[in-house]
Amino acid sequence: MEGAYSDSDRRKLMICTLAGAIITPLMSTMLNLALVDIGDDFGRGSHDLGYINTLFLLGSVIAMVPAGRLSGIAGMRRIYVTGLAITAAAASLAAISPSFWFLVGCRFVIGFGSAMMNVTSIAMLTYVYPESRRGWALGMNVTAVYLGLTLGPTLGGVISDSVGWRGCFALIICLCAFSMTFVRGIRYEIRPTPDDSMDWKGSVLWGISIFVLMSGVVNITETWAAAAVPAGAVLLALTLLRFSRSPSPVLNMRLFRIKTFTRSGFAAFLNYGASYCVQFFLSLYLQSIGALTATQAGLLLLVQPAIQVALSAKMGAVSDRMEDKRLLPTAGMAIMSAGIAMFIFIGTEFDIWYVVAMMCLIGTGMGVFSSPNTSVIMSSAPPQYRGEASGVVAVMRQTGMMVSMGIAMACISMIMGSADGLEPERYGVFADTIHAAFTICLGMCLAGMALSWSRGEEGSEEASGHIRES
């Protein structure tokens, strides 16, 4: 199938997916720098501000499971275009939000749109590029993501200080239009799944279980959370059991029979679970304890993603030439663990070089880990299952990010309580919250490092045998 695509086809697809890959990280990082201004505009504290990212991720995780299946039925290009349209429409509404919760709702819908783009972009690249160039192609995609992460802090800070936080959404609308222009030049459709059945009930159960579980986690101090967390967990377990027994599941649980796929996927989950809340906490820390403006904080936050961008494409190509695929991802997790550990000792006395050192370590670790790990995951799946594998990988990544924000919000609830403002007299409690959150994140990092090293190697033919055995 790979040989059917020309170099021109591949170039168009690369440009289209690179443009789309920048959108999601921009949405996350730009608004991180605008959180303080949003809080001032709507009179909200740090816990409520966490909803802006958490609901975005929640929407992504809920939509990714059915989107992965639909991309194989309706066509990956069609689902990608639909995601672009939803993102542009919701961003337009977010730019004119009359209230805080209206903004949060728009972020939830934007999460749906970004999920459709994320699921299909990696799958399309995996199908169209031959194995000898797949690591490079995926590395370019990851590099585009990190480029968005790099530009986001500075753009968010400058836009927030100059025209206000609403301007961030105007930029997203322009990027969606740019990507839409290029995707229209791709005249073929990728529709690899001959079976057109869809488990809509399973999709609904998935969404409800994730919503109930995360609602309890982020509001852990509320009395109703004691019932929501176990109820959501039980419903999620039943949903996954349904997926494992369904002949046409929206989430192919049979892929988890592949040892390399499973352990590398969970390593990615733990990697993002440990690292995603870094910029959320740092954006608040730098603009409160650090007394920096949004623009100054954005420039400082360039350090981590800039290093990731510099390393990602190179590491993807290096991984293609290495025999032992465990080395780079495991080394990346180890380096990141050192940076996460430094957060446990951050204090109320602002030390810019300490912050820079943390970001350098985390950025290096992420850059060394991401591209090689993604390449291993996708290559371990049989070709006919790579569309579904892409969906599973995206779900693992976004769920990790969502859990990371859940950890952040739960720690804020338990330690800061209802007095979650960032006044000077609360700086000590805020620092304690950071220490607690990153102690948990460090444990996730170390577990991810162990999984990455112990995953072993498994060919796609052997993996196909495992799936057929079910």
pLDDT for 15-35, tens place per residue? 888 888 888 888 877 888 888
CA angle 37, 39, 42 (to 5 degrees): 105
In angstroms, the CA 197 to CA 48 distance is 40
Contact partners, residue 97, CB within 8 Å, separation at least 6:
103, 106, 166
193: confidence class by pLDDT, cuts 50, 70, 90: low
For residue range 421-432, list pLDDT tens digits in order: 678 888 888 899
Alpha-helical segments (H) within 246-302: 259-275, 277-288, 294-300
Q: How confident is the model at residue 124 (pLDDT cuts 50, 70, 90)?
A: confident
Per-residue confidence at 339, pLDDT binned at 50, 70, 90?
A: very high
Q: Other C-beta atoms within 10 Å of 15: how many? A: 17
Residues in the chain: 470
Cα 130-131-135 angle, rounded to 5 deg: 110
Instruction: Give the SS3 label for residue 21.
Output: helix
Residue-level pLDDT at 350? 87
Q: Tens digit of pLDDT for each residue in 343-377?
A: 999 988 888 999 999 999 999 999 899 888 888 88
User: Using 50, 70 and 90 to split pLDDT, how confident is the model at 4?
Assistant: low
Which of the two residues, 390 and 451, has the higher pLDDT score?
451
In tens, the pLDDT along 174-189 reads 989 888 887 776 666 7
DSSP state of 290: S
DSSP state of 255: G
Q: pTM to 2 decimals?
A: 0.82
- Residues contacting 443, CB < 8 A, separation 6+: none
Instruction: Specify the DSSP class assigned to residue 414.
Output: I
Per the CB < 8 A criterion, the answer to whether 382 and 138 are in contact is no
Residues 137, 133: Cα–Cα separation, whole Å: 6
Q: How many C-beta atoms surround the C-beta of residue 303 within 10 A?
A: 19
User: 441 near 316, Cβ under 8 Å?
Assistant: no
Average pLDDT over residues 133-145: 78
Residue 418 has pLDDT above 80, yes or no: no
Q: How confident is the model at residue 250 (pLDDT cuts 50, 70, 90)?
A: confident
pLDDT beyond 90 at 381: no
